[in-house]
Structure 1
Amino acid sequence: MHKTVDLKVMYFGTPVVLISTRNPDGSANLAPMSSAWWLNDHCALGLGNSARTAANLRRERECVLNLVPSGMVDAVDRLALTTGRPDVSQQKAAMGYEFVPDKFARAGLTEQESELVGAPRVTECPVQLECVLAQETPLGTPDSGATVFHVRVLRSHVAEELVIPGTHHVDPVGWDPLIMKFCEFFGGGSAVRPSRLAEAWEMPHGGVLVR
C-alpha cells in the first residue's frame, strides 16, 4: 500500500561532487554538490543562482568535477556550511553558513593543476573531470532561483587502481562513491557519518548514527 505524501525534500540520492572553479581574483573556489547526472561526455549540474560557483561558471565557462569517494566524507562535511561569497545572505547566515575564502584549506585538500582548464583539480579525488560550460537553462520557471548548467567533459583523470587493466573503464566494484540522499551521507549502502547540512535543514534524521 502506498501513502500519498507532500514531500518536503525530493533528494533521493546522487554522488557527491566537489566543483572547483576560479574566483574573479584568480583564487580557487571549491563547492560540494550532489545534484548532477551524466550522459555520454556531458553532465548536468543543478546550482542555486546565488552561489559563487554559479557566478564563476558563467564568467569563466569552465570547471573541474572532482568525484568524491566515501572515505573523504569528513573533508566534504567541513565545506557543508561554507560559502565563497563574502556577502552571506540572511537565510544562509541563519542556517550557520560562513564566508570561507580558502575552501581547499578548510577542507584539508590539495590543489592540482589541470591540463586543459584554469580551474584546479583536487589531488585527493580519484576521479577528476575537466569541463567547459556548454549551455545553461533555468530550472523550472525563470524566477526559481536555480539553473541547470550543462558542461562537457574535455579530459578525465582516474586513479590507476580504479581502471580495469587493459581497458578505459572504471572498475564499478572498486569505485565506492560518496552518496548524499535526503541530505545524509552514505557509502557502500550504509550511513558513514552525521551530516551538518542535514542538521541545518532540520531533517528528521539529521542525527543518523554510523554503524
Structure 2
Amino acid sequence: MKTNLSAAVTHDVIDPAILNFGTPVVLLSTVAGDGTPNLAPMSSVFWLGKTAILGMGGRSQTARNLLATGECVLNLPSVDQVDAVDRLALTTGRADVAASKRSVGYRHESDKFGWAGLTPVPAVSGRAPRIAECPVNLEGRLVAHHKLAPADLAPAMLDDPATYLFEVAIEREHVLPSVRQPGTTNRVDPDRWRPLVMSFQKFYGLGAQVHPSRLATIDEEWYR
C-alpha cells in the first residue's frame, strides 16, 4: 500500500539569507587596464554550452577589471587546492576597502597569487593569467553584462552601486592530463575530476557516482 507522502512529510518555511545550495568554486583571474592581475574566488557561476554566467557585486576589483578589459580566466580548483582558495577569502584587490566588507574582516591584498601560493602562467588569448595548480583553466572573453534590479538583491548588498551578471564566452580550455578521459581527445573524466564545491559558505568535494545517468547514453559530442 502506498504511503500518503503529503500527509507524512511537512516542509518548513524558512528565509535563508543566501541560496547557495552547492556550486563549483572558481578562481577568477582578471587584469586591470594597466595589466595588473587580480585573483578572486567565487561560486556564483554556471555554464550554458560554451558560455559562463558569472554573478558578482560591482564594487569588486574583479568586476571593475571585467568591465574595463573584458578579459578573464576561469580557473577551476580541485579539492587539492582548498587551502589556497581559503587563503584568498576575506581579501580584496581594491585598496579602498568598502566599509561593509571591512566590517566583516576583508582587507586589501595586492599580490593575490603570492598570498595564495599559486603560480600564474600566461594565457593564449589574453593577458589575464592562468593558474598552474588548477586542473582546469578556461580562457574567456566578456560578451555582455547585465545589472540586477535592486529589488532582487539582499539588503547587505545594497551599498554596492550594482550587482552584475556577466556573460563570458569560453575561447580556450586547458586541462591537466590527470583529469582527461583515457582514449579520448576532448573529454574530461568525471571519475578523475574532483571539483571543489561551495555550499552555504563551506567547502565540499564530490564523492563517487551515485547512480547511472540516462543522459550519459547520449554521446557528449551531440552537445557541440
**Band the TM-score falls in, shorter-chain normalisation:** 0.7 to 0.9
Give the structure 2 partner of residue 107 of structure 1.
116
* Identical columns (%): 48
Choose the corresponding residue for 1:181, options 182, 191, 199: 199
Change (3 A) 1:28 1:142: farther
The farther-off stretch of 139-148 and 95-104 is 139-148
Supply the distance in 2 between the matched residues of 1:143 and 1:174 (Cα, whole angstroms).
38
Correspondence 1:65 to 2:74: yes
Opposite residue 57 of structure 1, the aligned amino acid is L
TM-score scaled by structure 2? 0.81
**Unmatched runs of 5 consecutive residues or more in structure 1:** 190-211
Shift of 1:111: 0.6
Q: In structure 2, what is the equivalent of residue 6 of structure 1?
A: 15
Question: Aligned equivalents of 1:178 and 1:103: distance in 2?
Answer: 19
Higher helix proportion: 2
Instruction: Show structure 1 runs of 4+ deviating over 3 A.
Output: 140-144
Q: Match of 1:194?
A: none
Q: Kindly provide the amino acid, as one letter, of the partner of residue 37 in structure 1.
A: F
Deviations along 1:104-125, whole A, 9 cap, x unmatched?
Answer: 0010000100011110000100
Deviations 1:14-33 (A, max 9, x none): 00000001123322100000
Structure 1 residues 21-58: Cα deviation after superposition (integer angstroms, max 9, x where no partner): 11233221000000000011000000111000000000
Cα gap change, 1:142 to 1:151, in 2 (>3 Å) = farther
Aligned residues: 189
Report the 3-state secondary structure (helix = DSSP H, G, I; strand = E; otherwise coil) of the residue aligned with 1:95: coil
Residue of structure 2 aligned with 1:161, choices 138, 158, 178: 178
Partner of 2:219: none
Q: 1:54 aligned to 41, 57, 63, which one? A: 63
2:167 matched to 1:150?
yes
Question: For structure 2, which runs of at least 5 residues remain unmatched after alignment?
Answer: 1-9, 154-161, 208-224
Residue 23, structure 1, aligned to residue 32, structure 2: yes
Q: What secondary structure is seen at the aligned counterpart in 1 of 2:139?
A: strand
Worse overlay, 1-10 or 92-101: 1-10
Counterpart of 2:131? 122
- Partners of 2:32 and 2:68 within 8 A in 1: no
